[in-house]
Amino acid sequence: MKLDVKDLIAAPWTPMNADQSVNYGAITDYGKVLLKQGVKNVYINGTTGEGMSLSVEERQKCAEEWMKTGMDVVMTHVGANSIADVKALASHSEKIGCHAIASLPPIFYKPENLDGLVGYFAEISSAAPNTPLLYYHFVAKSGINFDVIELLEKMKKRVPTFAGIKFTDNNLGQVALAIDKFGEEMVVGMGLFIVVHLLSVYGYGKDEQLSAAYMFGVKHSVGSTYSYSGIMWNSVINAARRGDLAHANKCQRMQNKMLHTIFSKGFNDGVHKRLLKYIWGFDLGPVRCPISEPSDEHWREIEKRLDAMNYRDFAQGKF
């Protein structure tokens, strides 16, 4: 099943109130912040969005609000440990017109082999028979690591709505193999996605390697940093496509330095969610338990180091 999507796909955080309830009212303005940066696609309720910590009802309401933001493409993660919940989320996503759905494999009771995983995705497909379905490949979270090429081949044959794979891993070699194997049939992108023209999307999701992925020929990518540095990343994509390796390299190195800075002392999710306020003044509220918030002292040290890098100006495109 074909899915038309290009360039940046933001993985937004889920806005929260002080009591950790979902702040649905903030989603409209969040969409405006993304559009201001030239980010027109979103992948919601995923890892960044704390989807696995949200209830089915909360995830459905978030999807409904994101569908009102004017995004070109809204993809929603429907993965859960209960297949009943997964199918309910998939069915709802199709009902409200989401452009695509994606799912992690079940992460507690796991399929014994690749055929079991493919059968599981056929079940998901049956709940949303008119909506492209992506496999979310994130071994660090799921613990499931089947051969990507074989996975793509079997999904194509047995899952009617299969549209590709969101590939969140450091192995660019697998991305290259997929391009070589499927040629014109798939467009490769990294979480990045590899998009299959007739079928699917293959997305890549490691921001630390994003410029290299676009140089490999990927067409779009999914990332959390696009929420606050979309202007910079759009400039990287354009630079990579026109062969301006100096600019792409400069931006990639700055982004990697920033990520090392904010993640070097822990509390990664709580710190990262604050970047949108630091860059654009848009407060997303806290993370939800069991994720921990950094102390005020910890955050002040992060701010000081980002200020020393002039990162705010850089993210806003003032190179």
C-alpha distances in Å from residue 120, one per residue of 135, 153, 262: 11, 15, 37
Q: Is 30 a catalytic residue?
A: no
Active-site residue flag, 136: yes
Q: How far apart are CA 49 and CA 27, in angstroms?
A: 12
Q: How many helices (H) and strands (E) does the chain have?
A: 14, 10
Catalytic residue among 136, 214, 278, 311: 136
Half-sphere exposure of 154 (CA within 13 A, CB side): 17
Q: How many residues does the chain have?
A: 319
Query: How far is the CA of 170 from the CAs of 110, 204, 207, in angstroms?
Result: 23, 9, 10
3-state secondary structure 203-255: EECCHHHHHHHHHCCCCEEEECCHHHHHHHHHHHHHHHHHCCHHHHHHHHHHH
Catalytic residue among 40, 154, 156, 166: 166
Contact assessment for residue 312 and residue 319, using Cβ atoms and an 8 Å cutoff:
no
| C-alpha 166, offset from chain centre | 8
Catalytic residue numbers, as ranges: 136, 166
